[in-house]
């Protein structure tokens, strides 16, 4: 049996707290066995934890036991080494979430670092990754944490979400916010931005909204019965919408196949989600997709090499139209070195 000194009691309390955090319910006898103390000592230690603000609840039953419940405030927590390292790494990557929690994450990381054992701090000091995220566009801003929580609350309660939505103007500004009322179904992040996938009753269709442009209104609207998202998978649906699809398939609406007179190794880095097949040292077959046929032709023309169109015919027509427009652009204007008028 351990001694009754203050230091051994403190160590035992920390061990007890760690066990209570590790699983939901603990039989009293099992706790006593793991801590190598009597059931009476376990009861006294549980009372000490309660005095420190930890909401430990007694469980009735044949064996009896204890459970660490959620309380009105957040008491001090106990983490093992792996959990501390995981928290620190996650906090360093928080700015890439686009959730507007950069300052809070930095403060939390500082707090953890101050109480971190020297052996763990040395490991983390050696881990200084350069995290590259999407380049912010003009007018972009992170989604506010309060807005994310408001959307999540409406989603979980299955209540219609009412909000003002600021659409991006063509001149780089924002239009006046437009009131919306939708049925929220999924909240997800993609490339540093947060998006809400919702059913819009006024439009009788699915819509995707950028969370950083949403200003929630209160109260929420009436409850609703969730619908099935086309395709079933939110990530696939969102990716498909970005490619101009209806959300049932993650593929571009315009897909073509060509032979590019370049080595495959020079084409692969720029093929995005296309496929490249080597056809010898200086040729490769490229299958690529885009929003439109003209956009696909322009994307393929950037390889600055001879191209043979395999199909479809719409891509050949798009190349012909691109050639006409390129020729017209080349003939327009005058050369400033030869024009002396």
Summarised one tens digit per residue, pLDDT across range 49-78 is: 888 777 888 887 766 788 887 654 555 666
pLDDT value at position 310? 93
The side-by-side arrangement of strands in the sheet containing 284-290 is 275-278, 284-290, 254-260, 307-311
For the chain, the average pLDDT equals 79
> Bridge-partner residues for 184, per DSSP?
198
Dig out the tokens for 88 from the structure. 């620190």
pTM: 0.53
Higher pLDDT, 8 or 187: 187
The answer to whether the beta carbons of residues 158 and 224 sit under 8 Å apart is yes
Containing 275, the helix (H) or strand (E) segment is: strand 275-278
Residues in CB range of 319: below 8 A, 6 or more apart: 297, 301, 307, 309
Residues in CB range of 254: below 8 A, 6 or more apart: 289, 290, 291, 292, 293, 295, 296, 314, 315
Dig out the tokens for 335 from the structure. 């050369």
Q: Which of 3-7, 117-121, 164-168, 187-191 has the lowest mean pLDDT?
A: 3-7
Tens digits of residue pLDDT in 194-203? 899 999 999 9
Kindly state the percentage of the chain with pLDDT values over 90: 23
Nearest CA to 185 out of 171, 172, 195 is that of: 195
CA distances to 30, 43, 63, 237, 301 from 50, rounded to whole Å, are 20, 11, 21, 48, 70
Nearest CA to 213 out of 183, 169, 248 is that of: 169
- Whether residue 99 has pLDDT greater than 90: no
Dig out the tokens for 177 from the structure. 């916010």
The residue whose two tokens read 């970005």 is 242
């Amino acid at each position: 049996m351990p001694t009754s000194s203050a230091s051994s009691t403190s160590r035992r309390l920390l061990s007890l707290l760690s066990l209570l955090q590790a699983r939901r319910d603990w039989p009293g006898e099992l706790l006593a066995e793991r801590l190598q103390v009597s059931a009476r000592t376990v009861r006294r230690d549980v009372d000490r934890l309660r005095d420190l603000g930890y909401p430990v609840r007694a469980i009735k039953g044949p064996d009896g036991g204890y459970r660490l419940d959620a309380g009105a405030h957040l008491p001090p927590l106990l983490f093992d080494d792996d959990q501390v390292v995981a928290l620190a790494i996650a906090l360093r990557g928080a700015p890439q979430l686009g959730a507007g929690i950069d300052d809070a994450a930095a403060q939390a990381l500082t707090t953890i670092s101050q109480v971190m054992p020297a052996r763990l701090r040395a490991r983390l000091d050696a881990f200084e990754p350069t995290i590259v995220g999407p380049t912010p566009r003009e007018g972009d801003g992170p989604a506010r944490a309060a807005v994310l929580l408001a959307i999540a609350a409406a989603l979980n309660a299955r209540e219609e979400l009412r909000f003002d939505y600021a659409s991006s103007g063509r001149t780089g500004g924002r239009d006046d916010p437009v009131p919306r009322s939708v049925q929220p179904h999924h909240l997800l992040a993609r490339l540093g931005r947060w998006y809400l996938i919702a059913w819009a009753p006024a439009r009788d269709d699915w819509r995707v909204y950028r969370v950083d442009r949403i200003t929630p209104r209160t109260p929420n609207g009436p409850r609703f019965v969730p619908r099935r998202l086309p395709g079933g998978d939110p990530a696939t649906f969102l990716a498909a919408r970005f490619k101009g699809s209806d959300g049932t398939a993650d593929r571009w609406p315009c897909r073509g196949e060509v032979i590019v007179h370049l080595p495959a190794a020079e084409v692969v880095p720029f093929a995005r989600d296309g496929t490249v097949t080597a056809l010898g040292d200086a040729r490769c077959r490229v299958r690529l997709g885009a929003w439109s046929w003209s956009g696909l032709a322009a994307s393929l023309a950037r390889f600055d090499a001879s191209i043979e169109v395999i199909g479809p015919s719409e891509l050949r027509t798009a190349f012909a139209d691109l050639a006409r427009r390129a020729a017209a652009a080349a003939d327009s204007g005058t050369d400033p070195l030869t024009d002396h008028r």
